[in-house]
Copies of this chain bind each other. A is one copy, B any other.
Amino acid sequence: MLKPHEKSWGDTAATMAEIGRRARAAARPLAVATAERKHAALIGMAQAILRHERDILDANAIDIRNGEKSGLSASFMDRLKLDPARIRTIADGIREIAELRDPVGDVIAEWDRPNGLHIERVRTPLGVVGVIYESRPNVTADAGALCLKAGNPVILRGGSDSLNSSAAIHACLVEGLKTANLPEDAIQLVPTTDRAAVGEMLKGLSGNIDVIIPRGGKNLVERVQNEARVPVFAHLEGICHLYIDRSADLDMAVRIAVNAKMRRTGVCGAAETLLVDLAVAATHLVPILEALRAAGCEIHADVEVLKAFADAKPASDADWVTEYLDAIIAVKLVDGVAGAIEHIENFSSHHTEAIVAEDADTVERFFNEIDSAILLHNASTQFADGGEFGMGAEIGIATGKMHARGPVGVEQLTSFKYRVRGTGQVRP
């Protein structure tokens, strides 16, 4: 038996294999658990989080002290740090997931056949999920709760710098599982800082992990995408584009540009490149750039843009493929929607792109010809978020095209099976 707090343990490969077997063994009881049972477990988890506030803060204090000793960055320490308000937010987040519609058993589609067979496509859990994340302890709760809601066992591998905090939160999740008499192995936390554990997960634990979801910076996601032998739901980066068409309303264009870039610069749905139609360079370009600069944004301008707006940095080739995650935007003039589509198809990370335009045909062309997970018309790219889509909690945004794409919420963590009802039919 492994306990999350045991730091010394034996062979990592053998231990991870055991974790994989346990997760798989939990899959069937979880798949047949009723919606009420899972709801009760989730409410039990939220209550345990609040009840053990002190324990979680104490564990977090250890991580904070270790982090200070290791000289972790201020932003890193901010993500790591818990306080009573953040703990309440974690508990509230679990309650929200508890109140989402249970997807398992939902009939997604149904139809009748001429021979009288009635066919239903019904949601089922997807399988064992592996979540690999950096040092944000709240991911422990979010990912554990969301996977449980979808009926999936989950193996959580948090960052080593938050292991004590994550273990304290994980203990509360297990308490919730126990209150509903669901298998404790439904939510397991990898109890080690050994990096080899991640490698084992990426190999899939002998078929005992069905999908891996990385949560963290580009280095983590890149390693997972390159090394994983199982499917991955992720986005490497969000190089999101905002295109201002010749038919755009200028006031709206200004408002959306400032929001898309500056509302929060560190989120994956923040705009990184602004494309402006050459045809409105004379009228729209300068007011938009002035508004961005007034909001504190640095402008990296293409040579044609510089002619109209000299007080900017010249953009280099690298700017078109850079996810700044900062108050910087690359700006380019393009020849109408065709030019915008061309630029986006060449440089986008296929996460989210937006167009501001009044001409319906132009919008349809933008929507049809660009193959990104999310396309928006006359709205900010910052709406690229599961909550904003009405999905409730999300575990991330995927840019792959296999199974999940866009926000990964509870429905995206399910699969399906067919139920066929007959009255004695045999096949001729």
Q: Which residues of A pack against B, CB within 8 Å?
A: 28, 31-32, 105, 111, 113, 117, 119, 124, 126-127, 210-211, 229, 231, 249, 252, 255-256, 258-260, 263, 345, 367-369, 371-380, 382-383, 388-390, 401-403, 405-406, 415-427
Instruction: Please state if A426 and B255 are interface contacts (CB–CB under 8 Å).
Output: yes
- Identify 13 new A-B residue pairs, CB closer than 8 A, beyond the known A249-B424, A256-B426, A259-B427: A124-B371, A210-B402, A229-B229, A252-B424, A255-B424, A256-B424, A258-B426, A260-B426, A373-B417, A379-B421, A379-B422, A379-B426, A383-B422
* Nearest B residue to A253, CB-CB: B424
Residues of B near A380 (CB, < 8 A) are 425-427
Instruction: Please state if A420 and B255 are interface contacts (CB–CB under 8 Å).
Output: no
* Nearest B residue to A32, CB-CB: B369
Instruction: Please state if A420 and B375 are interface contacts (CB–CB under 8 Å).
Output: yes
Output the residue of A111, A127, A376, A425 with the most chain B CB within 10 A.
A425
Of the candidates B252, B368, B379, B418, which one forms a contact with A32 in the assembled complex, judged by CB atoms under 8 Å apart?
B368
A401-B28 CB under 8 A given contacts A263-B426, A383-B420: no
**Least distance between A401 CB and chain B CB atoms (Å):** 4
Residues of B near A405 (CB, < 8 A) are 415-417
Residues of B near A260 (CB, < 8 A) are 426
Residues of B near A376 (CB, < 8 A) are 420-422
Instruction: Please state if B378 and A421 are interface contacts (CB–CB under 8 Å).
Output: yes
Residues of B near A256 (CB, < 8 A) are 424, 426
Residues of B near A424 (CB, < 8 A) are 249, 252, 255-256, 378-379
Residues of B near A259 (CB, < 8 A) are 426-427
* Nearest B residue to A414, CB-CB: B401
Residues of B near A378 (CB, < 8 A) are 421-425
- What is the copy number of this chain in the assembly? 2
Of the candidates B32, B113, B231, B427, which one forms a contact with A231 in the assembled complex, judged by CB atoms under 8 Å apart?
B231
* Nearest B residue to A376, CB-CB: B420
Residues of B near A124 (CB, < 8 A) are 371, 401
**Least distance between A370 CB and chain B CB atoms (Å):** 8
A126-B401 CB under 8 A given contacts A255-B424, A378-B424, A390-B111: yes
* Nearest B residue to A415, CB-CB: B401
**Least distance between A210 CB and chain B CB atoms (Å):** 7
* Nearest B residue to A345, CB-CB: B28
Residues of B near A371 (CB, < 8 A) are 28, 31, 124, 417
Give CA–CA (A392, B406) in the complex, Å.
Answer: 29
Residues of B near A390 (CB, < 8 A) are 111, 113, 119
What are the nearest 4 A-B pairs in CB distance? A379-B422, A259-B426, A401-B415, A403-B403
A420-B374 CB under 8 A given contacts A388-B427, A401-B124, A427-B383: yes
Instruction: Please state if B389 and A415 are interface contacts (CB–CB under 8 Å).
Output: no
Instruction: Please state if B255 and A383 are interface contacts (CB–CB under 8 Å).
Output: no
Instruction: Please state if B427 and A382 are interface contacts (CB–CB under 8 Å).
Output: yes
